[in-house]
Copies of this chain bind each other. A is one copy, B any other.
Amino acid sequence: MAFYDKLETRDPQLREDEQLAAVRAQISHAQQKAPYFARVLERIDARDIKDRATLAQIPLTRKADVIELQKSSPPFAGMTSIPMSELGRVYMSPGPMFDPEGKREDYWRFARAMFAAGFRRGDLVHNTFAYHFTPAGFMADMGAHALGCPVFPGGTGQTEMQVSAMAQLKPRCYVGTPSFLRIILEKGDELGADLSSLDRALVSAEALPAALRAWLVERGVATLQCYAMADLGLVAYESSALDGMIADEAVLIELVRPGTGDPVRTGEVGEVVVTTLLPEYPLIRFATGDLSAELPGASPCGRTNMRIKGWLGRADQTAKVKGMFVKPSQLAEVAKRHVEIRKYRLVIDHDARNTDHMTLHCEIEAPGDEVLARTVAATLRTVCNLRGDVVFEAPGALANDGKVIDDRRKYD
């Protein structure tokens, strides 16, 4: 069987009709069950949504606003259709932002992406996404279970133990970030461990540079990407055609001009706006802050859904570092805790191994204070849950361009 299910090869017009019908049902459902959407969609009559043009009349819900919405109406801002007591799990992403998980099997729909990446029933899956706080680990875990794959829950870090587990359990499949897969394979070389059982990987949460993919393929690990997020689960995934990312069947994707809700022309870079068709957390026209572009035509693999290019950057200054969001508001919090910091700018780049690396440049009166630098670094880690270097500079040293996050990573 070459496809996960028959939805993937639907006639495009049939899919469009079925998805628009599902969107209409979702709007009615959300208006009845989720107070936030009852308010935001007050003037919307679901029956009017006949095509993408009418869909574009519906107000966006911006991911960037969810933190504040949740703060004023905790924990989910009235955006869920079921109470907390009926959920399977609840997560906290940096911000903080809370993400609900429904009880259904494969709630995050990773099985589809895993199948496309070649994972098959009975294959052992080594999962290095974190299960703590974030849903990433469970996205992979629940997807693997839906496929009938046993999981080794490795989580993040502990490279030497990851190598040891792999060498002995001989998984066929890896799921996690691509940079950590490289780190594990290199550590395996160093320790003389045989990790050759691994021949499939599904990677996400960070960019996959072409050079890294080639390196992994040369090591015998066919590596495909998917695009997912903590609120929506799977949004799009690669197939072996390696020709863009195919939309998941449970979401409807639009690309809009950043700052507006207006669809861009096919091929033009726009903000990814997603409407989910699952009932528990009925996000309707959810503006992700991510940039991408639609690819024309259908994938050579036979899947007929729309395709987008990979992640092309952020519509705002929020950045993703090692799979976690870093927000201007978090840096403001770091600065608030140290009165000495007059101005700051976070520079994000790649180190020699293509791993994300961040440096917080701060203007302070007396740049030589190393104790303070360590204290600020500790605060940065506490607030962002990420390590970063801290460099002090003299007042006036940072450019006056309004940037607080300067993402210098190169993606090809």
Contact = CB atoms under 8 A, between A and B. Distances in A.
Interface stretch (A10-18, A22-30, A81-89, A259-267): A81-89
Interface stretch (A37-45, A110-118, A150-158): A150-158
Interface in A83-103: 84-92, 96, 98, 103
Interface string A129-148: 01111000110010001000
Nearest to A124: B84
A313 interface: no
A74 interface: yes
A385 interface: yes
Interface string A315-344: 000000000000000000000000000000
Interface stretch (A161-169, A218-226, A241-249, A250-258): A161-169
A397 to B, nearest CB: 31
A122 interface: yes
A75 interface: yes
Given A152-B91, A161-B385, A168 B75 contact: yes
A133 B168 CA distance: 13
A153 B133 contact: yes
Most chain B beta carbons < 10 A, residue from A90, A123, A130, A161 = A90
A382 interface: yes
B168 A153 contact: no
A160 interface: yes
Contacts of A96: 161, 164-165, 168
A150 B87 CA distance: 5
Nearest to A88: B150
Contacts of A74: 168
A89 B168 contact: no
Contacts of A150: 84-90
A83 to B, nearest CB: 8
A76 to B, nearest CB: 10
Given A84-B124, A165-B133, A168-B98, A152 B385 contact: no
A235 to B, nearest CB: 22
A60 to B, nearest CB: 25
Contacts of A155: 130-133
B133 A131 contact: no
B161 A133 contact: yes
A90 B137 contact: no
A92 B152 contact: yes
Nearest to A138: B153
Interface of A: 74-75, 84-92, 96, 98, 103, 121-124, 130-133, 137-138, 141, 145, 150-156, 158, 160-161, 164-165, 168-169, 382, 385
11 contacts: A85-B124, A85-B150, A86-B122, A86-B150, A90-B124, A90-B152, A98-B169, A130-B155, A131-B131, A133-B155, A160-B382
